[in-house]
Structure 1
Amino acid sequence: MKAASIPFNEADRLHALQEYRILGTQPEQSYNDLTLIAAEVCDTPIALMSLVDENKQWFKAKVGVDVLETPRDWSFCAHAIHTFEPLIVEDALNDQRFHDNPLVCGEPNIRFYGGFPLQNNQDHRIGTLCVIDRTPKSLNKSQIKIMEALARQAVSFLDLRLRAVRLLDSYCSLDHSPNIISTCSYCRKAKNEDGQWQYLDQYLSKRSSLNFSHGVCDACMEDQFPEVLEIWKQDEKEKFRNNYRSKINSKTEG
Structure 2
Amino acid sequence: MIKPQKPKNEIQRLKALHSLNILDTKSEERFDCITRVAQNLFNVPIASVSFVDEEREWFKSKYGLQFEETPREISFGAHVILEEDIMIVKDTLKDVRFKDNPLVLGNPEIRFYLGCPLKSKGRFNIGTLCLIDHKVQKFTDADLDIVKELAATVEAEFDARLSITDELTGLPNRQGFLLAGKQIIKRCKQFDKNLLLLYFDINKLKLTNDHYGHDEGDKVLKIFSQQLLKSFRRSDAVARLGGDKFCVLCPGMFKDYLPNVMKRLQNKLLSVQTNHPIEFTMGALPYDRSYHSINSLIEEAYEKIYEDKRHYH
TM range (shorter): 0.5 to 0.7
In structure 1, what is the equivalent of residue 222 of structure 2?
Answer: none
In structure 1, what is the equivalent of residue 57 of structure 2?
Answer: 57
In structure 2, what is the equivalent of residue 242 of structure 1?
Answer: none
Asked whether the equivalents of residues 115 and 129 of structure 2 are also in contact (C-alpha less than 8 Å), the reply is yes
Counterpart of 1:99 in structure 2: which amino acid? K
Aligned residue pairs, count: 163
Rounded to whole Å, the distance in 2 between the matches of 1:35 and 1:50 is 11
Rounded to whole Å, the distance in 1 between the matches of 2:155 and 2:12 is 17
In structure 2, what is the equivalent of residue 36 of structure 1?
Answer: 36
In structure 1, what is the equivalent of residue 89 of structure 2?
Answer: 89
In structure 2, what is the equivalent of residue 130 of structure 1?
Answer: 130
Counterpart of 2:36 in structure 1: which amino acid? L
Question: Partner of 1:84: helix, strand, or coil?
Answer: coil
When residues 19 and 162 of structure 1 are mapped into structure 2, their CA distance, relative to the original with a 3 A threshold, is farther
Distance apart, 1:139 and its partner CA? 1.1
Question: Partner of 1:152: helix, strand, or coil?
Answer: helix
Rounded to whole Å, the distance in 2 between the matches of 1:104 and 1:142 is 27
Asked whether the equivalents of residues 50 and 58 of structure 2 are also in contact (C-alpha less than 8 Å), the reply is yes
Gaps of 5+ in 2: 164-313
Distance apart, 1:161 and its partner CA? 8.8
Rounded to whole Å, the distance in 1 between the matches of 2:18 and 2:121 is 16
Higher normalized strand content (fraction of residues): 2
When residues 162 and 24 of structure 1 are mapped into structure 2, their CA distance, relative to the original with a 3 A threshold, is farther
Please say if 1:21 is aligned against 2:21: yes
Question: Partner of 1:61: helix, strand, or coil?
Answer: strand
In structure 2, what is the equivalent of residue 68 of structure 1?
Answer: 68
**Residues 1-254 of structure 1 aligned to structure 2 (within 5 Å):** 1-160=1-160
When residues 161 and 69 of structure 1 are mapped into structure 2, their CA distance, relative to the original with a 3 A threshold, is farther
Asked whether the equivalents of residues 20 and 161 of structure 1 are also in contact (C-alpha less than 8 Å), the reply is no
Rounded to whole Å, the distance in 2 between the matches of 1:85 and 1:27 is 26
Counterpart of 1:62 in structure 2: which amino acid? K
Query: Could you list the per-position Cα deviations for residues 19-57 of structure 1 after superposition, in whole angstroms to 9, with x for gaps in the alignment?
Result: 000000001001001111111122110001010000000
Query: Could you list the per-position Cα deviations for residues 144-173 of structure 1 after superposition, in whole angstroms to 9, with x for gaps in the alignment?
Result: 11110111111111222999xxxxxxxxxx
Asked whether the equivalents of residues 112 and 133 of structure 2 are also in contact (C-alpha less than 8 Å), the reply is yes
Rounded to whole Å, the distance in 1 between the matches of 2:108 and 2:98 is 13
Query: Could you list the per-position Cα deviations for residues 100-122 of structure 1 after superposition, in whole angstroms to 9, with x for gaps in the alignment?
Result: 00000000000000000001342
Question: Partner of 1:2: helix, strand, or coil?
Answer: coil
Question: Partner of 2:15: helix, strand, or coil?
Answer: helix
Pairwise CA RMSD of aligned residues? 1.5
Asked whether the equivalents of residues 84 and 119 of structure 1 are also in contact (C-alpha less than 8 Å), the reply is no
When residues 7 and 158 of structure 1 are mapped into structure 2, their CA distance, relative to the original with a 3 A threshold, is same
Asked whether the equivalents of residues 98 and 104 of structure 1 are also in contact (C-alpha less than 8 Å), the reply is yes
Question: Partner of 1:22: helix, strand, or coil?
Answer: coil
Rounded to whole Å, the distance in 1 between the matches of 2:121 and 2:50 is 18
When residues 109 and 155 of structure 1 are mapped into structure 2, their CA distance, relative to the original with a 3 A threshold, is same
Whose Rg is larger? 1
Asked whether the equivalents of residues 35 and 48 of structure 2 are also in contact (C-alpha less than 8 Å), the reply is yes
Distance apart, 1:142 and its partner CA? 1.9
TM-score of the two chains, using structure 2 as the length reference: 0.51
Asked whether the equivalents of residues 48 and 131 of structure 2 are also in contact (C-alpha less than 8 Å), the reply is yes
When residues 5 and 161 of structure 1 are mapped into structure 2, their CA distance, relative to the original with a 3 A threshold, is farther
Asked whether the equivalents of residues 20 and 162 of structure 1 are also in contact (C-alpha less than 8 Å), the reply is no
When residues 104 and 89 of structure 1 are mapped into structure 2, their CA distance, relative to the original with a 3 A threshold, is same
TM-score of the two chains, using structure 1 as the length reference: 0.62
Rounded to whole Å, the distance in 1 between the matches of 2:16 and 2:122 is 9
* Identity level (%): 42
Asked whether the equivalents of residues 121 and 158 of structure 2 are also in contact (C-alpha less than 8 Å), the reply is no
Counterpart of 1:78 in structure 2: which amino acid? A
Rounded to whole Å, the distance in 1 between the matches of 2:81 and 2:126 is 7
